[in-house]
Amino acid sequence: MTDLIQSAERPTRAYVLHPDLKAADTRRLPELRLAEAVSLAVALPNLDVVGHEVVRIAKPHAGHLFGSGKVEELKARFEVLEVDLVLVDGPVSPVQQRNLEKEWGVKLLDRTGLILEIFADRARTREGVLQVELAALSYQRTRLVRAWTHLERQRGGFGFVGGPGETQIEADRRAIDEQVIRIKRQLAKVVKTRELHRAARRKVPFPIVALVGYTNAGKSTLFNRMTGADVLAKDMLFATLDPTMRGITLPSGRKVILSDTVGFISDLPHELVAAFRATLEEVLEADLILHVRDISHPETEEQAEDVGEILESLGVSEDVPLIEVWNKIDALSPTSREALLVADARRSEVQAVSALTGEGFEALLGAIETRLGEERHDDTLHLPFSAGRERAWLHDQNVVRGETETKDGWTIEVNWSVSQRHRYRAL
């Protein structure tokens, strides 16, 4: 990605700023947004956060984001603290980035750049690495006005009469475009391989239950508790990036496939939406979604709204059943826990658990069993003889309950989930 991280002998000293714009959305408290930004910074290895603060801004300065007085004040503070890197929790234009880096004599990353760094450090699968690299190139293409020393116009033509050639920025942009084409070709091959794997999975007649939620809500801990797996589970944002799937057996003996996914976050950079594809395709094909919430977090409602918006933008069907899993109830006082559960009118759609202690797991597994059972439907399909592929798919999914051959084709009685019906229609 970048040369952000310094040598192992001396960690990079970082300072985190959260610009609080008066005209901005006040749905979330700036102090809590700052705390989340600090957690993002801590998620990077070899980074030492030496300070952080909320900066109140009446109106963003076009050239420096902050006012001249605040820029000077921060410069003095950075010099005392020997800051190497400034992280701004919000969008910073290329011009503002260049000017602030020149003024402060440090490197600067905005929120998008920081999340890109984390993804670059965490991606493990071939597709994940390629998607993050592609997102990084798209981001870098817009930052080519940074404080480079070689952006003078190159000479073009021949001899002494040649006109001005392309600028170095144009050459760099062209080089990035060539890399983007190369990565997209590699991704196309990886996607074909993954499609074969997913096609094979569809033949397994087990429903898919997908875990989604805000980052650090405890999905991986819950996944480990339910499956006995050993997926990385840490008190860290984006501890899990790549998809993980395991089979589990419900109390009735019914088998399901549980899928752990990457955590969501507010203001997710659009460059990174594609990087979520590997995990989110399991959500798009899920028979049941478990929305895991950190119910002990002071902004749990706001986080839930962010998750809902991302699911909607991804095209997750409203027909797919969803259970809210209120995790980390062990972090609540008994009084708060009781009041929360009694007061909430959606109790039938909520399962309160502690992934750490296992409290509430029997009820959760029972709710999964019930919802999967409720959401299967009987349908009658009339297929012509030319629809042999569709007929074979239905049999592979083990949803056929009866079949009659007619003079024009087949009449097939099926019992299937909403997700299976959507997948069938997409054939």
- Residues annotated within the binding site are 213-220, 238-242, 260-263, 327-330, 354-356
- Report the C-alpha gap between 267 and 289 in whole angstroms: 22
Residues 6 or more apart whose Cβ sits within 8 Å of residue 80? none
* Cα gap 212→225, rounded to integer Å: 16
8 Å CB contact between 248 and 227:
yes
Residues 418, 319 contacting (CB under 8 angstroms): yes
Strands (DSSP E) found in 250-405? 255-260, 288-294, 322-327, 350-352, 376-384, 400-405
Phi, psi of 416 (to 5 degrees): -145, 170
Backbone angles phi, psi at 219, to 5 degrees: -65, -45
CB 354 within 8 A of CB 330: yes
The contacts of residue 311 (CB under 8 Å, 6+ apart) are 212, 283, 289
Q: Point out the annotated binding site for Mg(2+).
A: 220, 240
Residue 359 tokens read as 């409290």
Alpha-carbon distance 182 to 417, whole Å?
A: 39
Q: Are 236 and 42 in contact (CB under 8 A)?
A: yes
Distance between CA atoms of residues 277 and 125, nearest Å? 12
Tokens 């399909």 map to which residue?
Answer: 381
For 98-120, give one letter per residue: b (16+ CB within 10 A) or e. bbbeebbebbbbbbbbbbbbbbb
Closest CA to 419 of 262, 273, 196, 201: 201
Residues within the annotated binding site for GTP?
213-220, 238-242, 260-263, 327-330, 354-356
Q: How many Å apart are CA 220 and CA 214, to the nearest integer?
A: 12
**Rounded Cα distance, 154 and 174, in Å:** 15
Nearest to 12 by CA among 95, 111, 115, 85: 85
Decide: helix, strand or coil at residue 113: helix
Residues 225/226/231/235 CA torsion (nearest 10 deg): -50
